[in-house]
Structure 1
Amino acid sequence: MASTPLPLLNLESLRPLAAVRPAGACQACAPLVCPGWESLPGDFDRARLQRVGTLQRPDDEEPTLVEHHPDGTHAWSVDAPIAPAFFPYNRCEAWRCTACARPFLRYTEYGGYYQDERIRELDARLLVDARP
């Protein structure tokens, strides 16, 4: 039995997902609520998140590694823009908390000897329309 492909998300389809901003953090997702990229805690119960879509374009075999930081931010800045066409967003999947629907972006960073699952809360105020 084939699984249903994830919906392909873009800036416009991210906006309504990002608009969900529960007040405070619920018990299920409290360890994940962070404005910038963080490592997904190893002991976090991943079943508390539901995958809702992907920003990874199936027709893009080599997504860019270029980042978008026009105002001097960097990858770890809490106010770094969320630009879906740029790295790491172009390699992300969108998830939401199964309890409160708080949205998150996730990707896996690969290094020489490690893999690190990264997660960032999806903040509508940081979404930008930019093209490489």
Structure 2
Amino acid sequence: MTPYVDAAALVALAQRAEENGWAPCSCTKTPLDGWQSQPLSLDETRLVEVATLMREDDPEPTFAEYRPANVQYWSPDAPIAPRYFPYNRCGVWECSECGRLYLRYTEGGGYFVDRRIRALKAGLVEDVGV
């Protein structure tokens, strides 16, 4: 089972990955600084789930978004707030080739399912309560 991480552990994971530096990798063909629909160019077989932000003791996580200063959901500068949507439904995935970390979740609508992905950056993680 994938281990749950809170905001502090998420920052530690991200900092470790950032400190190791990254080799050139095809996982970065599409910029993933903000949320994106998962690009077809991304080889999913290289991604390994290393943690989750979904708490087992929270069967119905909030759909509230954390958007200080009305920052947009898709913005590369949007904070990563693990207790808020969509982060509270994310897995933390690592590229087995370069070590970059990504947040991933599945957005479901009435007629579609969209796998979304965003690069994890330690400096954007904010531990704010709902």
Q: Fold-level match, TM-score > 0.5?
A: yes
Q: Distance in 1 between matches of 2:76 and 2:2?
A: 27
Gap runs ≥5 in structure 1 = none
1:41 matched to 2:60: no
Q: Which structure shows the bigger proportion of residues in helix conformation?
A: 2
Q: Distance in 2 between matches of 1:35 and 1:79?
A: 8
**Paired residue for 1:28?**
26
* TM-score, normalising length: structure 2: 0.90
Q: C-alpha deviations, 1:21-49, integer Å up to 9, x for none? A: 235x6223123542100011235321111
**Paired residue for 2:59?**
61
Over the aligned positions, Cα root-mean-square deviation in angstroms equals 1.4
Q: Distance in 1 between matches of 2:59 and 2:5?
A: 17
State the AA in 2 paired with 1:117: R
SS at 1:12 equivalent: helix
Which runs of structure 1 show a deviation greater than 6 angstroms over 4 or more consecutive aligned residues?
Answer: none
SS at 2:11 equivalent: helix
* TM-score, normalising length: structure 1: 0.89
Gap runs ≥5 in structure 2 = none
Write the mapping of 1:1-132 to structure 2, written as runs, cut at 5 A.
5-19=1-15, 20-21=17-18, 22-23=21-22, 26-132=24-130
Among the aligned pairs, what percent are the same residue?
46
SS at 1:106 equivalent: strand
